[in-house]
Structure 1
């Protein structure tokens, strides 16, 4: 069904993308015949987000700043630039890998576009590797929001470009 975001079994090589990941999940949306590549899908997810997601991200940045955690694209330049706060680490038309390494955890967002011209799909996979108690605590705090945020972000992919 076009536009419905559903959780799916992750189908990525976690060892290559983020060896030792402690958390991994994936969501998929059918986009029909929409001519979307991985960068466009990621851009629609991240930059054309819903207001409540933007508000949650602003709150997150305020709350983590005292702990010295990265906020909104801080850190070294990325090979593929930034999409919103996420450094692009590698990219093909079918797959974009974004993410960063921080003192508390390492994070990867993998956006895959698959299927034939008549039935295309976008899958968003999240991988997280924690380093310490702060990373495990942070992951535990954001988990109740993670699935809602990803579903909301992915619902933007099937919409016409703005």
Structure 2
């Protein structure tokens, strides 16, 4: 199954006011009963080994800058999928993410009926707060795109 980068169809400001970055990827899966939470769980419930290693490397690099470690996000007792706290959820849309001192981000997982099954779209929305946030976003964007495609493929099984 092919993951496609698509033009985002959501209003970034309705998800994260003032956001400066948005991108979206989509895949169609044959599962016609797939809801947004189940799709998000397939995407974020487990990560491939190379993604986990990349996140550990990220944590080592950003530690001197005081950025939140990826493991720290998992420790708070809130509704979460993988490392992402769930902000809101409906059967068709789940929004997760968190705020940090350098940037705020949201990941939106939408599901919609499609002729071939269910179309799952993941949209990332980011609001940077300072030079560190803008630099961080510029550095991680190529990795983000690779990881987003990989994680979305996990929805297909």
Give the counterpart of 1:125 among 97, 102, 123: 123
SS in 2 for 1:155: helix
Equivalent residues of 2:87, 2:96 under 8 A apart? yes
Poorly superposed stretches of 4+, deviation over 3 Å: 74-78
Q: What is the RMSD computed on CA atoms of the aligned residues?
A: 1.7
**Could you tell me which residue of structure 1 aligns to residue 40 of structure 2?**
42
Equivalent residues of 1:34, 1:158 under 8 A apart? no
Scaled by the length of structure 1, the TM-score of the pair is 0.88
Alpha-carbon distance, 1:76 to partner: 6.1
Question: What are the within-5 Å matches in structure 2 for residues 72-151 of structure 1?
Answer: 72=70, 73=73, 78=78, 81-116=79-114, 119-151=117-149
Counterpart-to-counterpart distance in 2, 1:53 and 1:128: 20
Unaligned runs of 5+ in 2: none
Equivalent residues of 1:33, 1:117 under 8 A apart? no
1:152 matched to 2:113? The reply is: no
- Structure 1, 45-54 or 23-32: larger mean CA deviation: 45-54
Structure with greater helix share of residues: 2
Alpha-carbon distance, 1:12 to partner: 0.8
Equivalent residues of 2:85, 2:98 under 8 A apart? yes
**Could you tell me which residue of structure 1 aligns to residue 7 of structure 2?**
9
Task: Provide the aligned length of Structure 1 versus Structure 2.
Answer: 155
Alpha-carbon distance, 1:131 to partner: 0.5
